[in-house]
Every structure is written in C-alpha cells, then in structure tokens.
Amino acid sequence: MLFRELSEEQRQIVATIRDFVERDVKPIASEYEHQDRYPFHLVDKMKDLGLFGAIIPETYGGLGLDYTTYAMIVEEICKGWMSVSGILNTHLIMCYVVAHFGTEEQKRRFLPAMARGEKRGGLALTEPEAGSDVASLRTTATRQGDVYVVNGTKMFITNGRHGNAFALLAKTDTQVKPQHRGISCFIVEKGAPGFTVSKDIRKLGYKGLDTCEMIFESFPVPADNLVGGAEGQGFKHVMSGLEVGRINIAARGVGVAQAALEAAVRYAQQRKTFGKPICEHQAVQLMLADMATKVEAARLLTYSAAAKKDRGERCDLEAGMAKLFASEISLQVSFDAMRIHGGYGYTDEFPVERHYRDAPLLIIGEGTNEIQRVVIARQLIQRYKLAD
C-alpha cells in the first residue's frame, strides 16, 4: 500500500508516530539499548498518544484502529527502535483476547484501564518445556471455590517486570484429549502472594525491554477472571490473538528492514572507494536493489494479511506467510546493510549492528519459522485437498 493511497486519518496517525520516533525514540535508542535500560519516559509518551488502546474499541476507551493502521504504527516505531514496539505488542494481544472473548463484565473492568496504560502486561504463554507446542504447557489452574489456584512457570514473558496484568494460559483439565481442549485463559494481576517475577533474561538483542521468568506457586486467581467464563477455550482464544501477534511481528520485520535499507543507502552515497561513492559500484547497486525489493514485498504481504483481518476474515495462513517472509528478509537485509557498511557496520557507531541483533527474535517469536512453515503447508494441503 503506497502512502498516497492512505486515508487522511491514516496519514495523520502515521505522521504523528513518525514525529514521535524521530523526536523521542531515535535520539536515545542506541544509548538505552546498549545499557539495556527500560524507557519509562517513552511509555508515558505512548500513553499520551493512546497507543496502549490502539486496537481496543472506542466503546471501552480505546482508539479502535484497524489492523492495517496498527501495522503501519508498528513499522514506524521499529524504524526507530524495535524494543519499543514490544512494550505494546503482547499488551495488545491481551487486549484483543479480552475484547473478543471476555465477558461484558470483564471488558468493562479491564479494557478502559488497559487503554489508558494503567493496566499493562501481555501474554503468559511460553514455558521452559512449551513454546510453539502450546498444548504441552504444564501450568495448571485448579478450581477451589471462588478461585483457581495456579501453579507453574512461564518463560520469556515480555513486560513481565514492568507489566501488572497478563493473559495466562493454564490447564484446567489435564486428562482430556487432545490436550489443547483442557487449556483455559485467565486474566491474572500482580498483588497476591504466589506470583513471583524470578529473573530477567539477558538477550542478544531486543534490549531495554523486560523479558522475564515468572513463577506461580499456589497463586489464587478469581474465578471471575476466567476469560469468557468457560473452561477449555484458552487455546482458541490465544490462537486467534496470535494472528494479531504475527501481523505485528511481520510489521516489525518490515520496520527493521526498512531502517537497515535506508541506513545502507545513505552510507553508500557517503562512503568512497576507488575514487567514487560505493553506490556507483555495480556490486553494491545489486545488493541495494534486492534489499529494497524484499522490503517492499514483505510490506505488501503484511498489509494484505492485516486487510484480511480488518474484513473479519480468517487470516492465519496469510498472517503466517507475512510473518515468515518479513522476519526472514529482516535478517537478510540487516546483514546486507552491515556488509555495505564494511568494518563500521560491525561497530556500535551505526545502528545497523542493532538491527542485525534484533532481527533474529522475529524468526523465533510468535511461533518459530520452522513451525510456521509446517502450519502453512498443512493449511495449503487442506485448502487444495483432492477429492476422495
């Protein structure tokens, strides 16, 4: 989607986010990232911009944006610093789950505060023994009167330290087959004993953002916080939410790749070898052409998946394809940008080294690309299934 095809509202929103990134994010990104420092002041600015309620319906205090506009916002943020988008992403997946599957009482109790950024958190899904294989999770929630008692460990939880509310998946039935039918989703909040953020996880990239291990030991969750008021629906809730997450990951990939491309194009015009700028060398020109083509293809795949989500259609196949392609080209383009920068690209003087360290997360996050390929293939076979 070209910029001239956007609505006036979309233009204004994208321009506002671009100004925010240029003014507030880019000047501090390198310093904060290398110090692994959490950007509290950027969180406050995002609250003021209403971004924590980006896809929450206006009825509950959100902006009610469509997913295409949301993808554009994520792309712009990631052109500045990808970690900032992480503060929003899993928070908004949780918002999506509550908004689409929660009871009316749950929506009114949680969504307005989440839209304001007062309640912030994300998705407590991954465990030490369960990542892409969600059905293998071991955390349990046992009903005892008016509460469920939760026991288990969650790993790699974004916003785990600075967030205060999470959509947690746990097994309420450990005997049912297939296993995913025994999984339920709960809204859990910090405060009661038994919920411990045990450690912060050090990472190659994606720094400045809290990624944590969380331990639940006989932690009580009110029965009223069971999403939708029904057990056994959590797997369905989260799989639907992950469509949004994969559109987000794809948009991140586009943003990181676009930033790396722009850095490479600028540097290629400044750096001279053999008496002329390196952008005049055919080898570099071929690299830049391939990089730009890959970025544009990833962008179109991402917006196509988002547009299908906007129409209310199932888009798990399209979101998976966008996530797969955009994350792979993000790593490729950031690496090529580093090569164009030569020795300087391997230093921390230029942002391309950060893009190169951030990109691998996109290949792993929201379901590894290896799993994603299997899921895509299965859906293709189902879609074009031969008649018996």
Longest dimension (CA), the chain: 79
CA distance 2 to 167: 35
- The region, left, alpha or beta by phi > 0 then psi within -120 to 50, assigned to residue 117 is left
Go through the chain and tell me how many residues it has.
388
Q: What is the CA radius of gyration of the chain?
A: 21
Q: Which residues contact 164 (CB under 8 A, 6 or more apart)?
A: 119, 120, 121, 189, 190
Cα–Cα distance measured from residue 79 to residue 299, given in angstroms and rounded to the nearest whole number: 13
User: How remote is the C-alpha of 341 from its chain's centroid?
Assistant: 28
Return all residues near 323 (Cβ < 8 A) that are at least 6 apart: 246, 247, 249, 250, 253, 362, 366, 367, 369, 372
**Quick check: bond before 360 cis, omega within 30?**
no
Inter-residue contact 324 to 371 (CB < 8 Å):
no
Task: Provide the H-helix boundaries in 81-140.
Answer: 82-101, 104-116
Burial class (CB in 10 A: 0-12, 13-18, 19+), 196: middle
CA 81 to chain centre: 13
Give the span between the Cα atoms of 211 and 157, in whole angstroms.
5
> Which residue reads 């599957």 in tokens?
101
Q: Which residues are catalytic?
A: 366
- The three-state secondary structure class of 324 is helix
Q: Are 90 and 114 in contact (CB under 8 A)?
A: no
Q: H or E stretch including 379?
A: helix 369-383
How many angstroms separate the CA atoms of 14 and 26, rounded? 16
